[in-house]
Amino acid sequence: MTSELVSKLRADLTGFTVDAVNDLLGPMAQAALGREQSLPARLVVREHLNEPLGALIAVFLLGLEVPAEQLAPAVPTVGLAGLAELGLLTQAGHDSGDPVRARVDLRPYATVDALGPADWWLTSDLSEVATGRPLAEDHVLGVGGASLTLARCTIRRPTGRVLDLGTGCGIQALHAARHAQHVVATDISARALTLAELNWQLNASTIAGTTIEGRRGSLLDPVAGEFFDLVVSNPPFVITPRNAPSAAFEYRDGGMVGDDLVRQLVESIGSVLAPGGIAQFLGNWEGRKGEGWTDRISSWLDASGLDGWVVQREWQDPAEYAEIWIRDSGQHLGKDADDLYAAWLADFASRGVEGVGFGLITLRRPVSEKAAPLRVVEERRTGPGLPWGDEVIATLERQDWLAANDDEALLAATLQVAADVTEERHHLPGAEDPSVILLRQGGGAGRVVQANTALAGFVGASSGDIPVGRLIAALASLLEVDGQALRAELLSDVRNLVRDGLLEPRN
Ligand SMILES: C[S@@+](CC[C@H](N)C(=O)[O-])C[C@H]1O[C@@H](n2cnc3c(N)ncnc32)[C@H](O)[C@@H]1O
């Protein structure tokens, strides 16, 4: 791949933006594409094939075959031959009427992360919506829901070395290059790395100064003995029956039994984390008869020896899970769909699997040896969902503060109520005193905490200037209750409110 050809391609793609594509297709065709129905988009594009944008959408988003003379005006700089040399196009001949067809999906991508907006173009393999066929086993995935979720959950602050494990089309590495000094991106798939390299070159001007180094190999093999400040991975975590070869796709299946790939990652990632380094993975995990998901995940965290925080966002029973992944690869259209479904159910049954969880795993190598590593295993199936990058940082910092401050230190500290917290009081009709007081967090995890009069009074008076111990003593005399007893009652509630970000340490 020559960088000169890539520069020429970049010049031709200037008007190929997310907004321009949305404007041309319109909301209905866009929404239909989101449901994997391309017909409305094909009908719209048919009317615009003589415009560069229409031709680019037809060929690279919808996978349509068009005469060479319709695509050529859209790529005057790189030319059709240049696209073919880059591996993006096949040409049936050299006449203007000969058909051309995309070999890959190429589309604009726009995002806003904590560092501001980014506009890129990304290549990946054409989806089954574009080809009308089930995916190939070495399919290179484009940006999907999981990619966006991980990008949003990733901590975005200036950092040194980042590892993107299982880079696919290279999207997480591109995001990381915006705030890292050096990025290593690995994949087991040579084809994924080829497309990722093209994507990194195509968008190089937006990550000036940071190099992304692609390396081929499995899991931690390509980086053994090295250390990273941040590891991100949207790994091939899909739990797949091993006795059904047609269920295996490189982009989603790591080739292990059950959730073993995610377990291995959790248990081994500490070997490449620098002190203070953080790893963030998406994953699936099983809940088995006699071993619920929390027990299972907790045992992995213990084996890792790292600080660990797991948030479970979804929970699916085995049938629902199998259906989703059979549909994801387009195999529900095939004649063997029932056999595949049965193989999936039998595989889950063989391990007593009652359900599968999905969520985010955050691990951190402590800077120094600590008595007790951080352990949080929680479920967020409603509300704002997985924690965004800012919340991940803030939560880890609050946990560190709590670990460093015993009860004596907490009593001497001053706390203030966070700016996004509001209080709701619910009264029975005619009653003077409230029957329910709720403290509601506007941001973060959007927690709602029920408080009694003493806790509500404490939070209401937490303006950051009176130490916790003195505030509790003042409340005890106001409420005419025993000071020691109130202190014992409130301290653990106060710790929980600090942990969840409703109260913030002032000093
Ligand atoms: C779900 S895709 C993620 C792609 C991309 N990082 C994203 O966020 O969209 C998982 C990637 O892991 C790769 N992979 C599969 N098995 C692997 C292994 N044993 N070691 C490293 N990468 C692997 C696949 O080829 C695929 O590109």
Token duo for residue 488: 């014992």
Q: Whose CA is nearest to atom 7 of ligand 1?
A: 147
Among 187, 215, 237, 263, the mutation site with the greatest number of ligand 1 atoms within 8 A of its Cβ is: 187
Among 109, 139, 141, the mutation site with the greatest number of ligand 1 atoms within 8 A of its Cβ is: 141
Token duo for residue 244: 């059904």
CATH annotation of 161-229: 3.40.50.150
Decide if domain 405-505 falls under CATH 3.90.930: yes
Fold match, 161-229 / 405-505: no
CA of 188 to the centre of ligand 1 (A): 7
Measured CA to CA, the distance from residue 488 to residue 507 in angstroms comes to 23
Say if ligand 1 is within 6 A of residue 167 CB.
Answer: yes
Q: Whose CA is nearest to atom 11 of ligand 1?
A: 166
The per-residue pLDDT for 507 is 65
- For the chain, domain boundaries: 3-108, 161-229, 235-403, 405-505
**Is residue 318 within 8 Å of 355, Cβ to Cβ?**
yes
Question: Helix count (H) and strand count (E) of the chain?
Answer: 19, 19
The per-residue pLDDT for 371 is 67
DSSP character at residue 421:
E
Say if ligand 1 is within 6 A of residue 293 CB.
Answer: no
- Of the candidates 84, 70, 125, the one whose C-alpha atom is nearest the C-alpha of residue 92 is 84
The per-residue pLDDT for 1 is 57
Q: Whose CA is nearest to atom 27 of ligand 1?
A: 168
Q: Among the atoms of ligand 1, which is closest to the Cα of residue 261?
A: 19
| Residue keyed to tokens 């859209």 | 74
Say if ligand 1 is within 6 A of residue 253 CB.
Answer: no
Provide the residue-wise pLDDT of the chain in tens; the chain has 507 residues: 578 999 999 999 999 999 999 999 999 999 999 998 999 999 999 999 999 999 999 999 999 999 999 999 999 999 999 999 999 999 888 888 899 999 999 999 998 877 789 899 999 999 988 998 878 888 999 999 999 999 999 999 999 999 999 999 999 999 999 999 999 999 999 999 999 999 999 999 888 789 999 999 999 999 999 999 999 999 999 999 998 877 788 899 888 999 999 999 999 999 999 999 999 999 999 999 999 999 999 999 999 999 999 999 999 999 999 999 998 887 777 778 899 999 999 999 999 999 999 999 999 998 777 667 888 899 988 777 888 888 899 989 998 899 889 999 999 999 999 999 999 999 999 998 899 999 999 988 888 999 999 999 999 999 999 999 999 999 999 999 999 999 999 999 999 999 999 999 986
